[in-house]
Structure 1
Amino acid sequence: MTAGAPSPDRRAFTAIVNPAAGGSASAAALVPVARLLREAGAQVVVEYSRDLEHAAALARAAADAGRVVLGVGGDGMVGCVGGALAGTRAVLGIVPAGRGNDFARQLGIPSQPDALARLLLEGEPRPVDAIDANGTPVLGSVYAGVDAVANDNANKTRLLRGSAAYYIGALRAVLAWRHADYVITVDGREHRRTGYTVVAANSGWYGFGRHIAPDARVDDGLLDVVIIKRAPKLLFFTVMRELERGAHVRRPQVEVLRGRKVRIELADPGRTLPYGADGELPGTLPVTAAVMPAALRVLAP
Structure 2
Amino acid sequence: MIRDAFTAVVNPAAGSGTAAATMISLARALRESGARVRVTYSRSLPHATELAAAAAGRGDTVLAAGGDGLAGAVAAGLTGTTAELGLVPAGRGNDLARAVPLPRDDPATFAAALRERPSRPIDVAMAGDRVVLGSVCAGLDSVANDAANRWRLPRRPIAYQIAAVLVLARWHPVTYDLRVDGVPERVRGNTVVAANCAWYGGALKIAPAALLDDGLLELVTIGEMSRRRLVPVLTAMRRGAHVGMPGITSRPIREVTIATDRPIPFYADGEKLPAGPVTVRVRPAALHLIGA
TM-score tier (shorter): over 0.9
Q: 2:71 aligns with which of 66, 73, 78?
A: 78
Residues 160 and 99 from structure 1, CA distance in 2 versus in 1: closer, same or farther, beyond 3 angstroms? closer
Distance in 2 (alpha carbons) for counterparts of 1:23 and 1:15:
18
Moved more, 217-226 or 253-262: 253-262
**Once superposed, which parts of structure 1, at least 4 consecutive aligned residues long, lie more than 4 Å away?**
none
| CA deviation after TM superposition for structure 1 residue 243, in Å | 0.4
Moved more, 21-30 or 84-93: 21-30
Moved more, 274-283 or 171-180: 171-180
Matched, 1:36 2:13: no
2:190 maps to: 196
Gaps of 5+ in 1: 1-8
Matching of residues 64-75 of structure 1 within 5 Å: 64-75=57-68
Distance in 1 (alpha carbons) for counterparts of 2:275 and 2:163:
18
Contact 1:52 1:80 in 2 (8 A): yes
| CA deviation after TM superposition for structure 1 residue 297, in Å | 0.3
Moved more, 238-247 or 85-94: 85-94
2:84 maps to: 91
Report sequence identity in percent: 48
- Once the two structures are superposed, what CA deviation does each residue of 1:68-105 show, in whole Å capped at 9, x if it has no partner? 11000111111111122111221111111122211111
| CA deviation after TM superposition for structure 1 residue 277, in Å | 0.3
Distance in 2 (alpha carbons) for counterparts of 1:19 and 1:107:
23
| CA deviation after TM superposition for structure 1 residue 254, in Å | 0.6
Distance in 2 (alpha carbons) for counterparts of 1:111 and 1:194:
41
1:273 maps to: 264
| CA deviation after TM superposition for structure 1 residue 161, in Å | 4.2
Distance in 2 (alpha carbons) for counterparts of 1:106 and 1:233:
30
Kindly tell me the number of residue pairs found equivalent between the two proteins. 290
| CA deviation after TM superposition for structure 1 residue 167, in Å | 4.1
Residues 20 and 98 from structure 1, CA distance in 2 versus in 1: closer, same or farther, beyond 3 angstroms? closer
2:286 maps to: 295
Gaps of 5+ in 2: none
TM-score by length of 1: 0.91
1:172 maps to: 166
Residues 108 and 195 from structure 1, CA distance in 2 versus in 1: closer, same or farther, beyond 3 angstroms? same
| CA deviation after TM superposition for structure 1 residue 152, in Å | 1.2
* Amino acid in structure 2 at the alignment position of 1:239: V
Distance in 2 (alpha carbons) for counterparts of 1:216 and 1:160:
29
Q: 2:119 aligns with which of 107, 122, 125?
A: 125
| CA deviation after TM superposition for structure 1 residue 217, in Å | 0.3
Instruction: Give secondary structure in 2 for the equivalent of 1:56.
Output: helix
